[in-house]
Structure 1
Amino acid sequence: MAPYSVLVTGANRGIGLALVKEFLKNKDIGIVIATTRNPEKAKDLYGINDDRLRIVRLDLNDDDSIAEAVSELQAILGDKGLNVLVNNAAVLISSETKQKITRETLISQFQPNVFGTVILSQALLPLLEKASSLHQNEDLSINRAAILNISSGAGSIGQSTFDCPYGGSRLFRLFSYRASKASLNMITRTMGIDLVNESILVCCFCPGPVDTEMHPDKEHKDSLLKPEESASVLVNSFFKLNSSHNGNFYDRNLESIPF
């Protein structure tokens, strides 16, 4: 079994692009939708030769863009709805070490990582509910309907200790990013509770230390995972999800991470 449709946000590069390619390896998936703010610049996406791929313009900072994208998605998906929403799009707004965090920095960080993700998920609920309704009496899974939020171990309050690699003044520039991911984790738990009656599975995942433009640790580039390495393991874990995983936080290997 495989979901009929999958949507990945922020799919023009990095983990998002790798997830799109990984999902397309499964021939049983009918449609893979990749969203990006600037489709005209998404050369790697357009270089994928697969008729199942749809590329949709989406800016999570713009409500009008979200509304237009949802209308386009409704036309693409029709009565089958949307099985899997992967909220991958995010930004890392960094500042220099020990520089004061401004209100502008916080808003810029939370806009796509939190606010836009919530608004998009809410707007796509009718399509997710439609897909779920077509699989009556089945357990929660990505084959039925799921929202999968790509988070980060940097957002784990339980792992935020004095020896935490993300803490301390040395990486104080990650403060707003960590806060946004902690917020996304709470949103995941709340969505999991709120949507269980609609049989929509909700989880969040840390993809691990991946070599992307966003990763702050450029000094140890050789030790980072390639996006395709992380995506391969993530998608494998996605297919293992069931009701016991609903509302929880995992690493790419489906090992539990404390909120």
Structure 2
Amino acid sequence: MAAGRARSVLLTGSNRGIGLELVRQLLGVPTPPTCIFATCRDPDGPRAKGLRDLASRHPNLVLVKLDVADPSAVTAAVKVVERKLNGLGLNLLINNAGIYTPTASLDTVGAEDMLRIYQTNTVGPMLMSQAFLPLLKKAAQESTEKGLSCSKAAIINISSVLGSITKTPETFFKPVISYRCSKAALNMLTKCQSLTYRDAGILCVALHPGWVKTDMGSQEADLPVDTSVQGLLSVLPTLSEKHCGALLNWEGKAIPW
């Protein structure tokens, strides 16, 4: 698995749901990353207990306080990661943090809700990618691998099929306007990143984890979180330059924009 071969991985939104399961499964691979940076808003709070339990058993897991919507917090997190990496680059950035308003219909969604969702789901991944770009470039330069891969240097944006304009008619039974628009914007960000960072040796891909049984996805969802994450981590090693800028699902199948 490419993520397992990566020397260093950083994940946002790691204290619950898909993020926490990504951390758990990355720690469980035969050769786990030397450094896994798991970020969340309050690593000392009650909602991060599962993450702290993992950190107590795995010295390669580093907890980092981070709100992706706060530029100063992003800057502070970069300094923490830089110190820990001690001159080496960051191989894999997984922008997983996201928020969701389940009742935001076209009639009820307001400006405040739309901006709040955008700030975390779209602006956050942009800020993270900008801030960690020097470390990703360093990892790409350090690598002897040809082409693009997740074990060399990559930005993976956790997106959603709900951001697909083509798929909207068949998924509109859940309007969630602010979330949809933020993920459509994240898909565009991913495409722009792929065109901008490709020459620096950085792979950029958007992945849809499926409709997952989590606090955000709801218990009505049809996909257990461990199955989704197994799929995502199985897709990562298959990604190459031909996938740069693509939107794929947790089984590696392309989703139309």
Correspondence list, 1:25-40, <5 A? 25-26=28-29, 27-40=31-44
- Using the TM superposition, give the Cα deviation of residue 99 of structure 1 relative to its aligned residue in structure 2, in angstroms: 4.3
Secondary structure of the corresponding residue to residue 239 of structure 1: helix
TM-score (norm 2): 0.93
Residue 3 of structure 1 is matched in structure 2 by 6
Question: 2:159 matched to 1:143?
Answer: no
Aligned residue in 2 for 1:248: 246
CA offsets 1:59-86 (integer angstroms, 9 cap, x no match): 0121111111111111111222100000
Tell whether the 8 Å contact from 1:93 to 1:108 is kept in structure 2 after alignment. Answer: no
Following superposition, the deviation at residue 97 of structure 1 comes to 5.3
- 2:93 aligns with one of 85, 106, 129: 85
Q: What is the alpha-carbon distance in structure 2 between the residues aligned to residue 96 and residue 255 of structure 1? A: 28
Which residue identity is paired with 1:123? A
Q: TM-score, normalised by structure 1?
A: 0.92
CA contact (8 A) 1:131 1:145 kept: yes
**CA separation of 1:112/1:96 partners in 2, compared to 1, >3 Å: closer, same or farther?**
closer
Q: Does 1:94 pair with 2:102? A: yes
Deviations 1:164-199 (A, max 9, x none): 13x15xx33x01100000000000011001001101
Of 181, 184, 198, the residue aligned with 2:183 is 181
SS of alignment partner, residue 44 of structure 2? helix
> Does the 8 A contact of 2:137 with 2:200 survive in 1?
yes
Percent identity for Structure 1 against Structure 2 = 35
Q: What's the counterpart of residue 196 of structure 1?
A: 198
Change (3 A) 1:96 1:75: closer
For residues 7-156 of structure 1, the aligned pairs below 5 Å read 7-26=10-29, 27-41=31-45, 42-48=48-54, 49-95=57-103, 99-136=107-144, 138-156=146-164
Structure 2, unaligned stretches of length 5 or more?
A: none
How far the C-alpha of 1:144 sits from its partner, in A, is 0.5
Q: How does 1:206-217 map to 2 (within 5 A)?
A: 206-215=208-217
Q: Is the 8 A contact 2:213 2:223 kept in 1?
A: yes
SS of the aligned residue for 2:86 comes to helix
Measure, in 2, the Cα distance between the counterparts of 1:98 and 1:198: 40
Give the SS at the match of 1:22. Answer: helix
Worse-superposed segment, 57-66 or 180-189? 57-66
Is the 2:145–2:152 Cα contact (8 Å) retained in structure 1?
A: no
Which secondary structure state, in structure 2, belongs to the residue aligned with residue 76 of structure 1? helix
| Greater mean deviation of Cα atoms: 233-242 or 81-90 | 233-242
